[in-house]
A and B are shown apart, each in its own frame.
Chain A
Amino acid sequence: AQSVTQPDIHITVSEGASLELRCNYSYGATPYLFWYVQSPGQGLQLLLKYFSGDTLVQGIKGFEAEFKRSQSSFNLRKPSVHWSDAAEYFCAVGPYSGAGSYQLTFGKGTKLSVIP
């Protein structure tokens, strides 16, 4: 069975500092990997995804993530955090069923707090 581990429950960084959120997955085949952000009262918004190809993926809002198969990791990074980045971040893995639909397995999330 597939699983996702986000080791950090809560991270606090200063505005302008760099950020790395960790994600490790367990999956028997080539994974489809996602990072979502959830703000209070908002739905989950897709930051970026990895299906295949270049292992460094660029997303929205200045985020990027790197897929490392040898480490079963898909860590999210941002070089300079803004106060508006404070939110809950979820890593997810999903198989592609080939039938036009897939299921996602989510990590427990990492809450990001930003100090002005």
Chain B
Amino acid sequence: GAVVSQHPSWVICKSGTSVKIECRSLDFQATTMFWYRQFPKQSLMLMATSNEGSKATYEQGVEKDKFLINHASLTLSTLTVTSAHPEDSSFYICSARDRGRGYEQYFGPGTRLTVT
């Protein structure tokens, strides 16, 4: 139980285009989802927190117009990287919190984004 999936697992896009990453909780309802960014040999950096049906809360320094987050249902959150640039290339990881299981976060496998 408590499985979180991400799609796609790997994506390459051209500079200037937009890319959407999906995060799904497969066997539980996720009232809260988190989006992280991980650079090579670095820790996970929290980008934003999203609660179902409300606007995401972005961390300081994260451009909310560039990283659009939608949490339209209790099992799906999406991160759209708009007008991607090579510096946006990174590993993006989502996690989801199942209120019924306490306060643990369950992590997806991550999405590798490469912008050329």
Name A's B-contacting residues (CB within 8 A): 4, 9, 36, 41-46, 49, 90, 96, 100-109
Q: What's the interface size class on B, roughly?
A: 20 to 34
A90 touches B32 (CB 8 A): no
The segment from B14-22, B38-46, B64-72, B81-89 that touches chain A is B38-46
Q: How far is the CA of A45 from the CA of B9 in the complex (A)?
A: 17
In the complex, per-residue mask of B73-116: 1 if CB is within 8 Å of any chain A CB, else 0: 00000000000000000000101010100011111111000000
- Residues from chain A with a CB closer than 8 A to the CB of B104 are 46, 49
A residues in contact with B45, CB < 8 Å: 106
When distances are taken between beta carbons in the complex, the residues of chain B under 8 Å from A107 are 43
Complex Cα gap A106–B106 (Å): 15
Answer yes or no: B29 CB below 8 A from chain A CBs.
Answer: no
Are A100's CB and B4's CB within 8 A? Answer: no
Question: Which of B44, B46, B107, B108 is the most central at the interface, judged by chain A CB atoms within 10 Å of its CB?
Answer: B44
Given contacts A9-B41, A44-B95, 10 further A-B pairs with CB under 8 A are: A42-B109, A43-B93, A43-B107, A43-B108, A44-B93, A46-B106, A103-B49, A107-B43, A108-B41, A109-B43
**A110 CA to B28 CA in the complex, in Å?**
30
For the complex, give the distance between the alpha carbons of A90 and B43 in Å: 8
| Selected A-B contacts with CB under 8 Å, 29 pairs | A4-B43, A9-B41, A36-B107, A41-B9, A43-B4, A43-B93, A43-B107, A43-B108, A43-B109, A43-B110, A45-B107, A96-B103, A100-B99, A101-B32, A101-B49, A101-B51, A101-B97, A103-B34, A103-B46, A103-B49, A104-B34, A104-B44, A105-B46, A106-B43, A106-B44, A108-B41, A108-B42, A109-B41, A109-B43
Known: A90-B44, A106-B43, A107-B43. A41 touches B109 (CB 8 A): yes
